Structure 1
C-alpha cells in the first residue's frame, strides 16, 4: 500500500512539475516577445531622433517657422539622447530572452525617453519663455505608446505616471497650468494607458493560447483540443480504458529509401504522414506517434467514445482510398507505387502523459498496442492491406463488409488470433439487419 501511495504521489509530483515547467515556458515566451518589442522600440527611437531633427531644423527653416534656440546645452541633450538610442539598440541586439531582465529592462529606457522630452521643453522655455503644451503632450503620449511592447502592466503604469508627472510639473513651472487643461491631458494619458494594458494582456494571452493549441493539435483531434484547453492538463491524466488501436507501415520502405536521397525520404514521409494523420484526426482519433515509416493511432482516449472501433475502421478505409490518390500522382511523376499494411485491434490500455518534466507525450501502453502491431504484420502473410482483429470486428464490423480468415498464430502470443479483412463500409440499409442479428433482436 505504501508503494502504491508513493507511486501516486510521485505521479502527482510529476504533474505539478509539468505545470510548473509549462508556466516557466510561458514566462520565457513572454520575455522573448518583450525583448523583440524593446528592439522595435529602439529602432523607432533612432528614427524618431532623425525625424525630430528634421522637423526642428530643416522643416522649420524651410517654412519660415521660429526655430528653437540651439546652444551647447541643447546640443548636449540631443547628442546624449541619440547616443542612448544607438547604445540601447546595440545592447538589445545581443540580449537573450530572460524573464527577470524583461521586468526591469524598460525602466531606464522609459525614464530616459520621458526625461528627454521634458528637458527639451524646459530648455526651450528657459531660453524663449515660450511653452507649447500641445507638443509636450504629443511627445509624452508617444513615449506612453512605446509601452505597447512592454512585458508587464506595471511598465504601462510607470509610463503613464511619468508622462503625467512631467506634463503637470512643466505646466506648473512655466505658469501654463490650469486644472481643466491638466486634468484633460492626464485623463487622456490614463485612458491610453488603460487601453494599452488591456491590449497587451489580450494579445499576450492569445499568443500563449495559440502556441498551446498548436502543440496539442499535433496529436489530438480538434474537439479534444478545445476540451483540454478549457479544462487544463488534468483532463489528460492517466486512465485505463478499452480503445481501438491502428498500426500501419509502408511495405518495403527500406528498399525504397535506399534509392532516394535522405531529403527525398523525409519529403515522402512528410507528405504521406500529413495525409494519413489528417484522416485519423478527421475521424476523432489520436495520432500517437510516428515510428520510422509506421504510424500508431488510437480511438477512445482521451475522450471516451463508444463507437471507437467503427471510427477506426472508417479511418482505415479512408487511408486506403487516400493511398490510391497518392499512387496515382506518383505514377504520373514516374515514381513507384506505395503499398501499406494496416492492423486494427480493440483492447484495454493505459493512456496518459508519459515522460519527464522537460519532454513528455500523450501515449497508450498495453498488450492491445502490441497485438495491433502483430495484426498489421499478418497483412503480409495473408496478402491484404487491412486486417481487423475479432474484438474490433465485433465492436464495429456490423457496419462493414469483410471476410473472416480464421485463426492465425502470431509471434509472442500462445493464443491464436482471429482476423478479418476489411473491404468496405456497408450502406445503412444493409448494415441495420446485420446489427440487429448481432444483437439478438
Structure 2
C-alpha cells in the first residue's frame, strides 16, 4: 500500500509539473516526464500485478487532472474531462511499451538488469520507449484534437493538422521514457551507491559549472548549445566506462536536465515559444543519452563476458570456453557424435598416498594434472574431468575432426613423456617414481550437459566411454602403459589428416578380450611399461605383449 501511494504521488507531481512547464497545446499536458514512470511501473509490475502496474498512473493522472483544472482562473468541465481522458494515453503507452519490450527479447523480462546487455538496452530504448511514445501520442492526439474541436479551440497555436499535434507529443514522451525509465530501473537494482572516479567527477562537475554559467551569463545561443553538446557527451562516456547503473543514471539525469534548461531558456532570440524550445532541447539530448545508455550496456557486457570467460576457463577446456560463453547452454539438447575417449590413471596411488602423507600427495596430484592437462590441450583435446588420481579426455568434442583418433594416440605417447619429466624431477628430490596407465577407444558418444545452472558440466556418455575406462584398467593386467582398441588404432592409421602419425610400431598386439559390460570381445594393442624405445619391426606387424584369448 505504501508503495502504491508513493508511486501515485510521484506520478501526480510529475504530471502537474509537466502541465505547468511543458504543455504544448492550449494548456493540455504532455506526459513528460510522468510517462517514464508509467512505463517503468508496467514493466516491473504489469505482468503479475496490474494494480501496481497501472494503478498509480490512473489514480495519479486523475489527481493531476483535478489539480491542473483547479489551477486555471476559470476551471471548465470540458478541460477536466479532456485531462481525464488523456490518462488513457499514458495507459495505452505503458501497456504497448511493456508488451513490445517482452516481445523482442527472451532473456530480459522487466527491469532486472538491461544495463549489462546491449541487446536488452536497445530493446528497452527502441521497442519499449518508442512504443510507449508512439501509442501515447497517437491516443492522446486523437483525444485532444477531438475534444478541442468539440470546444471550438484551434490546437497548437494554429497547427490544425494531425501531425502538427502528434510530433511534439511523440518527442516529449520519447524523451521522458529514455531518461526516466532507465533511471528508475537502475534505482530498483540492489547495491550501494559508489563514489565515482576522479575523471568522472571532474567532467560531471565541468558540465554542471558550464550549465550554471550559461544560465547566469547572457551568452549567444549557439555558444551555449555547442558548450552543452561538447560537454555532456564526454561526461556520460566517462561515467559509462567507470560507474555502476545508479550513479550513471544520476549523471544522465542531471546533465540532461541542465541541458534542457540551458537550451530551452536562452534561445528566446529564435522567437520560439517555450514549449517548442523544450521539444528542440529534448531532441538535442535524445540521441546523446540513448547512445550513452547503449555504450554503458556494451561496456558492462564486455566486463561481464571477460569475467565469465575467466570463470569458465577454470571449469572447461579452452576449446569449450568460447562456445559456452557465447551460447550459454549449447548442449542442452544432447546429440550423438563420433569421438575418441582417453582415460589415464596413476598406478598404485592408494598405497603411495598412505605412505606419502597429504601434503606430498596433493603436490603430486597438482603436478600430474597440470602436466597432463597441458598435453591434452596441446593436442586439441577436451579435458572432460579430473578423476582423483586420473582424468578423462575426449577428442572430437564439441565437434568431430577427421584426425581425432590420431591426436588421441599422439596425446597418449606425449603424456608418457610428460610423466618421464615428472619422474626425473621427483628422483632429483629423492622421491619415488610413479607410473600410469592409459586406455583409448573410439566410437559413438552422446554429448550434452548435466547438472544445474549453478554447477553445469558438459560431458559425453555411452559405451565408448565405458570401454575406454575398462581399457585403462587392463593396463594393470597386461603390464602396459597404454592399451588401445582396434577401432582407435585403425582410425589413427587410416585418417586423412595433417597430424603426424605417432609411433604406432611401439604398440604390441595383445589379443581379444571381453570387457566388463560388453557382449562382444574387443581386440586390443598395448605399449609395455618398459618399452622406452621403438622395437625394430614394421608398424603394421606389432609384436605380441600378452595374450588375453
Q: In which range does the TM-score fall when normalised by the shorter chain? A: 0.5 to 0.7
Question: Are 2:451 and 1:324 aligned?
Answer: no
**Equivalent of 1:266, from 358, 362, 366?**
362
Q: Deviations over 1:106-149 (max 9, x none)?
A: 5999xxx99x989x98xx99xxx999xx9x99999998655644
| Maintained 8 Å contact 2:240/2:299 | no
Query: Out of 362, 376, 387, which is 2:483 matched to?
Result: 387
**8 Å Cα contact 1:21/1:358 also seen in 2:** no
In structure 2, the residue matched to 1:364 is: 460
Is residue 482–residue 526 contact of structure 2 (8 Å, CA) maintained in 1? yes
- 330, 337, 343: which one pairs with 1:234? 330
Cα deviations by residue, 1:209-246 (Å, 9 ceiling, x for unpaired): 22333344446554454455555533563112222111
Distance 2:360 2:292 in 1: 48
Matched-pair contact (CA < 8 Å) for 1:148–1:200: yes
Q: CA deviation at 1:355?
A: 1.9
CA distances 1:326-355 after superposition (whole Å, capped 9, x unpaired): 111111122211211101111222121112
Say if 1:163 and 1:236 are closer, same or farther in 2 by CA, change over 3 A: same
What does residue 69 of structure 2 align with?
Answer: none
Equivalent-residue separation in structure 1 for 2:355 and 2:487 (angstroms)? 39
Deviation of residue 248 (structure 1)?
0.7
SS across alignment from 2:384 = strand
Residues 326-345 of structure 1: pairs in structure 2 closer than 5 A: 326-345=422-441
Quote the offset at 1:312 in angstroms.
0.8
CA distance in 2 between counterparts of 1:288 and 1:22 reads 32
The structure-2 alpha-carbon separation of the partners of 1:262 and 1:424, relative to structure 1 and needing over 3 Å to count, comes to closer
Counterpart among 298, 304, 311 of residue 394 in structure 2: 298
RMSD, aligned CA: 5.0
Alignment of 1:356-435 (within 5 A): 356-397=452-493, 399=501, 400-401=504-505, 402-413=507-518, 415-422=520-527
Residue aligned with 1:388, SS: strand
Picking from 374, 379, 390, the partner of 1:283 is 379
2:376–2:393 CA contact under 8 A, matched in 1: yes
Structure 1 residues 279 and 237: CA distance shift in structure 2, 3 A:
farther
- 1:277 and 1:313 map into 2 onto residues whose CA distance is 15
Q: What is the match of residue 62 of structure 2?
A: none
Q: TM-score when scaled to structure 1?
A: 0.58
Q: Which residue of 1 aligns with 2:189?
A: 102
Q: Structure 1 residues 216 and 332 mapped into 2: Cα distance closer, same or farther (>3 Å)? A: same
Matched with 1:7 is none
**Residue of structure 2 in register with 1:159 after alignment:** 251
SS where residue 362 of structure 2 aligns? Answer: helix
Q: 2:342 aligns with which of 246, 251, 272?
A: 246
More displaced 10-residue stretch of structure 1: 340-349 or 252-261: 252-261
Residue 257 (str. 1) matches residue 353 (str. 2): yes
- Whether the 8 Å CA contact 1:350–1:366 is kept in 2: the answer is yes
Q: Secondary structure at 2:445's aligned position in 1?
A: strand
- Over 3 Å counting, the alpha-carbon distance change for 1:386 and 1:356 in structure 2 is same
Equivalent residues in 2 for 1:60-209, closer than 5 Å:
101-102=188-189, 148-152=241-245, 156=248, 158-166=250-258, 197=293, 200-209=296-305
Task: Using CA pairs under 8 Å that are at least 6 residues apart, name the structure with larger relative contact order, 1 or 2.
Answer: 1
> Are the counterparts in 1 of residues 241 and 299 from structure 2 also a CA contact under 8 Å?
no
| Residue matched to 2:121 | none
Return the TM-score normalized by structure 2. 0.48
Cα shift at 1:282: 2.1
Question: What is the CA–CA distance in structure 1 between the aligned matches of 2:351 and 2:415, rounded to whole Å?
Answer: 22
C-alpha distance 277-178 of structure 1, shift in aligned 2 (>3 A):
farther
Kept in 2, the 8 Å contact 1:30–1:151? The answer is: no
The CA distance in 2 between the partners of 1:248 and 1:147, in whole Å, is 49
Using the TM superposition, give the Cα deviation of residue 386 of structure 1 relative to its aligned residue in structure 2, in angstroms. 0.7
Q: Distance in 2 between matches of 1:262 and 1:396?
A: 40
Structure 2 Cα separation of the partners of residues 353 and 23 of structure 1 = 25
The answer for the alignment partner of 2:7 in structure 1 is none
Contact in 1 for aligned 2:346/2:437 (Cα 8 Å): yes
Q: In structure 2, what is the Cα distance between the partners aligned to 1:312 and 1:22? A: 42
Contact 2:331 2:448 in 1 (8 A): no
Q: Report the Cα distance in structure 2 between the residues aligned to 1:23 and 1:380, rounded to whole angstroms.
A: 56
Instruction: Decide whether aligned partners of structure 1 residues 323 and 188 sit closer, same or farther in structure 2, where only a CA change above 3 A counts.
Output: farther
Distance in 1, Cα, partners of 2:435 & 2:109: 44
Unaligned runs of 5+ in 2: 1-105, 118-184, 219-223, 271-277, 495-500, 542-549
